[in-house]
Structure 1
């Protein structure tokens, strides 16, 4: 503060006239307008792209497995093979493959243990470049008098965007289909850019001298310094090492500091007549909170139902380090979405919400009539903090119920029913994402609404005991899949040093079913006598999967488009992306008949 006060004695380089000030103010309004036109154009473009994709998916629907089977039963069908010759008819698909490789599968490190795709970096650096160009254009050889206030105008006008990118319910996600957790990287980039511009505004103003009407004897100036200090502290505490090490502290401090910043910023900008820049950010924040409150009330039947089952959850320790949390609720979700769980008696704060992927689907596999109440299941790997306390509760109390509130669902998972082959790859608790995708494909195939002919389910876990997480529902899904034309190839890789084979639940198959054990699996004869269904493809293997080999084999035999979905540690996601950036999916391979491959990496809950 003293440094700012001391600079007030410095004289400005010239004394602007009223005409100069009026022209400067007019230019600032125009530059703010131009910036928002550019940003609106980007959002509009992404919205149009999404709309076109939705229209094409409705118009050009692939044939279901049921129709293909009925056709095969009547006459032999000759599949379009790959003769290795280049066909110019595949040129659009080759261009699409090249774009996917460059934009989404190539990644660059942006910090310790953190990477970003080329597409993400393009948006980040493109945003920064546009902000800097608008900031410095027409500044008379970079004279600070021109950009000292323009920096504040550009930063302040972006506050609604910064808040929107952080919100779980925001119009950008609804329009573009990009889920809120993927927008978070843009939120951080935009916020830090605005912080940089606000410091540029403060330093330039102070270095040029603060006239009497702008010194710190005025309350609105002190509010400006207070807001900038709070914003700076929030940015420091949001740095990855601090955020990961003290997440609960980061979350609380972030909300408090940003609240101080927005209120102080409004009080600072209101005096010169620019409060309109800041109060919309408060409206955006309030909209998100009101929408979440309404969703919480509906999901948990506050004021609607007196039944305790709509406001409690069942806690069960299924392995020493994993808890199954089951809630009975009356809302629907898409397979692969996530929700925020509030357990007041377990959390450090009563309103503390934690995100987890929903490991179940809203409808039963047998496609029979559904109840309005549905089991919302979460598989929670215990670590420290909240998950550690939840594990301790389950270990000490056994199967028990606790008060629970759920907020969601959130996320924009892909529609896999349009593909011919689906490859689902998970590491550890990432199976919470791939399992419901598998269950949904089995169900949609039974309903005749899926074109997927083959699903490869790859799951890598450290201990064999972890198979208990999904053994029951996986057994049911594979049993249902046998009655359809869907081929499911489940592979479980045990990476620990001692991989005993856990027994899976028996479903009462016939003797012919029991005799179809795959010899690549270490399933014992004892397990077969226990009526363990072998599914003709189940493989429980010791070691790490060769991701490149799995992808190469499955893409090589697929007769149509392939979807690859991965969830797990960042190392696993990167290995999948690197494999799909190789010659397996190269534009030349596509020109020679290789299928198009779409990759979806579920980074929710993972370190980026």
Structure 2
């Protein structure tokens, strides 16, 4: 309703106009009914079409991954494994001390398929049995997964341009996406008239975008599942759409407040539906202001509880304010309930064993009752249900990347279950560290060192990418981000132990400020290197002491003086460019003249030449480290011919922050 028309109406008519209903707007706007409701619906349809386009781009990788039956269930629900562990039979696979090991693909294939013919006692027919005792039928579904390159590998030049960083957390591609959304919203909002005179269109913009902001804000959102993106990768879209809802709701409400104030009809217009409109406005303002980075970091518990409460209240308040918005409200409610119900099914109440790692600044949480159900690279959200966490700390949920490998078919590495490395940062982290120290004192006195935890997840991860389908992997970590490459390396070696991985080379790079950080992780590094030798995978682990200069030799603790073969400690920052170049060159050398041996029924051992299937680069740590590695991968892929020869270089970034 225009401002001049509102001056000539009665107070009751003004109240009806405030509801921005379709009927009231049509009655005063003549033939603009398409612009009152249909235009905003068409805008949502256009957004849905854009999402469908991105889904079509991700569909080839999704289909390739889902051709493996195990991919339909992995990474969805945490659960207990069978408790059976894989027994390694080193035999001839274990090299002698000081022996030069052959990591070529031919040597790898020869070791992997070392087998003997045995007679089946029931049928009398010969059956091929490998060192782990698996028959041909049992091993058929454990062949190396098919590889589907990402679009960034197919079009590296375009990927480099769209992936260029404009500011921390935003690339050219994401900026163009946000700009397109802003233009669309401004178009549908301004098409209804001058926003300083016509206040109804702004209300429709806010209501029509509620389903969009809800689907982008839920942890288990359908859009992320289809695109193969975790909710944390779509969070910048959630924040941007939320700002538009906040802006539109305030333009709509404050415009009418100003109009009624100068008319002197504010009291007469405060009908129940208008009051509900102000309730929705307050919820939108709370969602915006308490989500600001500064307030969220300082007052996280307040942000969390207010966010959940305001998100729940804003939906019925919007529907009670204007009944025509009910379809949008119901859609948003269904998306929210779907996420909540699925998260209830994903939540596990169990116990954990905390162990303080002061030199690493983390607490190691071991959950032995959960041993499978996640993929390497995924994270879970944890609540520590202990009064030692403070008045509100027991209710806080914090995300942590899983640092262990899930069982596969009952095969666990150490039987520890799910392992988390929780960084001791902030009040919550400090209380968890103190709780872990008290648990150790309790254990020393003969008490139980366990704490109750509520685990929600798993979330995120590599999405539609299958890390085991690449030819090589470069894993980079900074500080407590070591949990990410630990899980990936362990999973790749587990898959390689029964021929379900194409990865031949793994280079793990870890940057630390103190070499003492190596002490608690050294046993796991040693075990990974030993397993790599058994499986024929070339694993290199490089520790870089960032606070030491390259002219000085890093000082190690007495327990780390004798490092296993394959583990090196260097001073300075890691030369990421040369490390990536080295991995690519070694991958090309391995595949240049190598021959993979593939046993075929009735024909003995056939020889089949393979070309490299790409290099996977994973990084976890501070945002600056992630952006440096991502920039390096983009530049390498666009400028180096070797990137195409090796099958492409692709990057996945997991940065600190929540």
Same fold, TM exceeding 0.5? yes
Matched residue, 1:580: 633
Q: Considering only aligned residues, what root-mean-square deviation do their CA atoms show, in Å?
A: 3.5
Q: From 332, 336, 339, give the equivalent of 2:380.
A: 339
Q: From 23, 29, 50, give the equivalent of 2:37.
A: 29
3-state DSSP of counterpart to 2:406 = coil
Note if contact 1:214-1:221 (Cα within 8 Å) is conserved in structure 2.
no
Matches within 5 A, 1:397-416: 397-398=439-440, 399=443, 400-413=449-462, 414-416=465-467
Note if contact 2:26-2:36 (Cα within 8 Å) is conserved in structure 1.
no
> C-alpha deviations, 1:420-476, integer Å up to 9, x for none?
221000001111111101111111111111111111100011112211342222211
Matched residue, 1:393: 435
Note if contact 2:286-2:306 (Cα within 8 Å) is conserved in structure 1.
no
CA distance in 2, matches of 1:332, 1:284: 24
CA distance in 1, matches of 2:400, 2:644: 42
| 2:405 is the counterpart of 1:361 | yes
Note if contact 2:615-2:650 (Cα within 8 Å) is conserved in structure 1.
yes
Matched residue, 1:376: 418
Q: What's the CA shift for 1:43?
A: 2.1
Matched residue, 2:580: 551
Note if contact 1:585-1:594 (Cα within 8 Å) is conserved in structure 2.
no
Matched residue, 1:446: 497
| Residues 1:72 and 1:103: Cα distance change in structure 2 (over 3 Å) | farther
| Residues 1:601 and 1:499: Cα distance change in structure 2 (over 3 Å) | same
Matched residue, 1:517: none
TM-score (norm 1): 0.78
| Residues 1:258 and 1:587: Cα distance change in structure 2 (over 3 Å) | same
Matched residue, 1:501: 556
Matched residue, 2:511: 460
Which sits farther off after the overlay, 212-221 or 153-162?
Answer: 212-221
Note if contact 1:10-1:207 (Cα within 8 Å) is conserved in structure 2.
no
CA distance in 2, matches of 1:267, 1:555: 61
Matched residue, 1:328: 368
Matches within 5 A, 1:175-574: 175-206=226-257, 216-270=269-323, 273-296=324-347, 299-300=348-349, 311-320=350-359, 321-330=361-370, 331-345=372-386, 346-347=388-389, 348-349=391-392, 350-363=394-407, 369=411, 375-398=417-440, 399=443, 400-413=449-462, 414-496=465-547, 499-502=554-557, 524=561, 527=562, 534-535=564-565, 537-559=566-588, 560=612, 561-574=614-627
| Residues 1:485 and 1:101: Cα distance change in structure 2 (over 3 Å) | same
CA distance in 2, matches of 1:472, 1:9: 76
Note if contact 1:8-1:215 (Cα within 8 Å) is conserved in structure 2.
no
Q: How many aligned positions are there?
A: 528
Note if contact 1:362-1:374 (Cα within 8 Å) is conserved in structure 2.
no
Q: What's the CA shift for 1:495?
A: 2.4
CA distance in 1, matches of 2:231, 2:620: 17
CA distance in 2, matches of 1:326, 1:359: 10
Note if contact 2:202-2:252 (Cα within 8 Å) is conserved in structure 1.
yes
CA distance in 2, matches of 1:130, 1:18: 23
> C-alpha deviations, 1:17-52, integer Å up to 9, x for none?
965546334432211221122122122222222221
Q: What's the CA shift for 1:591?
A: 8.6
Q: What's the CA shift for 1:332?
A: 1.2
| Residues 1:373 and 1:175: Cα distance change in structure 2 (over 3 Å) | farther
Q: From 115, 119, 130, give the equivalent of 2:169.
A: 115
Matched residue, 1:100: 159
CA distance in 2, matches of 1:57, 1:485: 25
Matched residue, 1:169: 220
| Residues 1:67 and 1:234: Cα distance change in structure 2 (over 3 Å) | same
> C-alpha deviations, 1:547-606, integer Å up to 9, x for none?
222223333443232111111001111211222233x32256369846521111113x43
Q: What's the CA shift for 1:167?
A: 0.9
Q: What's the CA shift for 1:264?
A: 2.5
Note if contact 2:492-2:501 (Cα within 8 Å) is conserved in structure 1.
yes
Note if contact 2:378-2:460 (Cα within 8 Å) is conserved in structure 1.
yes
| 2:164 is the counterpart of 1:125 | no
Q: What's the CA shift for 1:149?
A: 1.6
Structure 1 unaligned blocks of 5 or more: 1-5, 74-89, 301-310, 505-522
CA distance in 2, matches of 1:43, 1:192: 20
CA distance in 1, matches of 2:526, 2:643: 40
| Residues 1:225 and 1:464: Cα distance change in structure 2 (over 3 Å) | same
CA distance in 2, matches of 1:323, 1:94: 38
Which sits farther off after the overlay, 34-43 or 22-31?
Answer: 22-31
Structure 2 unaligned blocks of 5 or more: 18-23, 69-102, 112-148, 444-448, 589-611
CA distance in 2, matches of 1:585, 1:435: 26
Matches within 5 A, 1:152-167: 152-167=203-218
Q: From 10, 20, 41, give the equivalent of 2:49.
A: 41
Q: What's the CA shift for 1:386?
A: 1.4
CA distance in 2, matches of 1:267, 1:319: 54
Note if contact 1:568-1:606 (Cα within 8 Å) is conserved in structure 2.
no
Note if contact 1:319-1:468 (Cα within 8 Å) is conserved in structure 2.
no
CA distance in 2, matches of 1:209, 1:395: 62
Note if contact 2:515-2:554 (Cα within 8 Å) is conserved in structure 1.
yes
CA distance in 2, matches of 1:44, 1:93: 19
Q: What's the CA shift for 1:147?
A: 5.5
Note if contact 1:69-1:485 (Cα within 8 Å) is conserved in structure 2.
yes
Note if contact 1:227-1:265 (Cα within 8 Å) is conserved in structure 2.
yes
CA distance in 1, matches of 2:287, 2:64: 44
Which sits farther off after the overlay, 455-464 or 591-600?
Answer: 591-600
Matched residue, 2:188: 134
